[in-house]
Structure 1
Amino acid sequence: MADNRKPEITKKQIRAEVLAKRDALSEIQRKSAAESVYNQVINDPLFIKAKRVLGFMPFGSEIDIKPILEYALAGGKEVFVPRITTNGFHKEMEFRKVKDVDPVHFAFGKYKILEPSEECDPFEYNEAEAMMLPARDLVLLPGVAFDKYNKRVGYGGGYYDRFLEDKLTLRIHSIAVCHACQIVDYEIPEDEGDVRPYKVVCS
């Protein structure tokens, strides 16, 4: 059996390689990619069934999913986006409910990413409800690189891995969204605690 892993490559090297490609995309390419991902996601059964969508505010050259979140809000879904909280030296990601995704209603957080106010209602995950309504919640997941096995390289903080790891058995689904240049043709190294998205949607 062929070994698809790239010899001796590290996640740090993958980040540098893929982010350089993503950052080099033109504005036209980025807009076209966002439209492609938008059409795929809003027609995906996981999105259609979801009552609550956990998205993110795009940063830098990430896929712009704000139109997806706007579509979700217009369709009566609840939308949540993350903010980073600090307790001493410990940092965690929490999701807060938003009523729109206009950047003027957000503030820059620790990583210079737009975040909702801490006054916004928090996302609450109820295990009993999740077991009864397994398709209710959907996470739209950012990332740096993905392979054909849905293995993911994030930005190194592990926030999404920790958020998803104790919820997978209760079937909270996640769709990773990315540009085509973020799909690598080799197997990504995987560490303990890494969580793969349910599926990957790319432009």
Structure 2
Amino acid sequence: MQEKKDIRHQILTKRLDIEKEELYSKSETICNSFLSLPQYQNADLLYIYMDFKNEVVTKQIIVDAHQKGKKVAIPKVQNDQIVFYYLEPNDKELKEGFFGIREPEMTKPVKDKSGIMVVPGIAFDEKGYRVGYGKGYYDRYLQENKVAQKISLVLELQMIEKVPYDAYDIPVDMIITEKRLIHCR
């Protein structure tokens, strides 16, 4: 079985080779599938990443959540862990933070631990295990904070047969690609 670092390099290289038009088209399909989920429609709080390095573009979901009056929380790396902060609809000035990921001014940390979380990653298998960026931020956060549902938005090229995992790795519950919806486990 391949090691995570090899998988990370291989899939990230493929993802970075995608043309922007193709990325936006596939992202729109994936986001529309996500927006139609009852889990999303019934959620009051959405934890979601700010896309970078050709990840599925999340802006459409963030705009929709704000329009529907949902609370939106995005991560910021602080002291080698992620902390989620509310993203207000009027937060237009996002600044580059850790890894170059856009972050808003961090003034309102999330206290509510409910909601659904859109979990990023580089490679995924159908059991919901993922290869992230190698720091374990989401796995550590999810061990300490339970959310109602963990969903990943993934380009089909990020799907692999089997992700190597350890006891501390936390799988997602659902994966949405431009071709399918996968209920994990």
> What TM-score do you get using the length of structure 1 for normalisation?
0.83
Of 152, 157, 163, 2:135 maps to 157
1:105 alignment partner, SS class: coil
Q: Post-superposition, which runs of at least 4 consecutive aligned residues in structure 1 deviate over 2 A? A: none
Gaps of 5+ in 1: 1-6, 127-135
Q: Counterpart in 2 of 1:55?
A: 48
Q: Residues of 1 paired with 2:177 and 2:159: CA distance?
A: 8
Matched residue SS, 1:61: coil
What aligned pairs does 1:129-144 form with structure 2 within 5 A after superposition? 136-144=114-122
What are the within-5 Å matches in structure 2 for residues 82-101 of structure 1?
82-86=75-79, 91-100=80-89
Identity %: 28
Q: Does 1:108 align with 2:83?
A: no
Q: Distance in 2 between matches of 1:111 and 1:26?
A: 22
Give the Cα separation in 1 of the matches to 2:126 and 2:81.
Answer: 29
Matched AA of 2:157 = C
Q: Structure 2: where are the runs of 5+ without partners?
A: 179-185
Larger radius of gyration: 1
Q: Please give the root-mean-square deviation of Cα atoms over the aligned residues, in Å.
A: 1.5
DSSP 3-state at the match of 2:62: helix
Deviations 1:75-109 (A, max 9, x none): 010101111112xxxx110111111386x411111
Q: Which residue of 18, 22, 29 maps to 2:11?
A: 18
1:181 counterpart = 2:181: no
| 1:119-145 residue CA offsets vs partner (Å, 9 max, x unmatched) | 2x111135xxxxxxxxx5010111000
Alpha-carbon shift at residue 166 of structure 1 (Å): 3.0
State the aligned residue count.
178
Q: Which amino acid aligns with 2:34?
A: V
1:74 and 2:74 are equivalent in the alignment: no
Given that 1:82 and 1:116 are in contact with CA atoms closer than 8 Å, whether structure 2 keeps it comes out as no
Q: Give the conservation status (yes or no) of the 8 Å contact 1:82–1:95.
A: yes
Q: CA deviation digits over 1:167-189, x for unaligned, max 9? A: 34xx52111111110011x2111
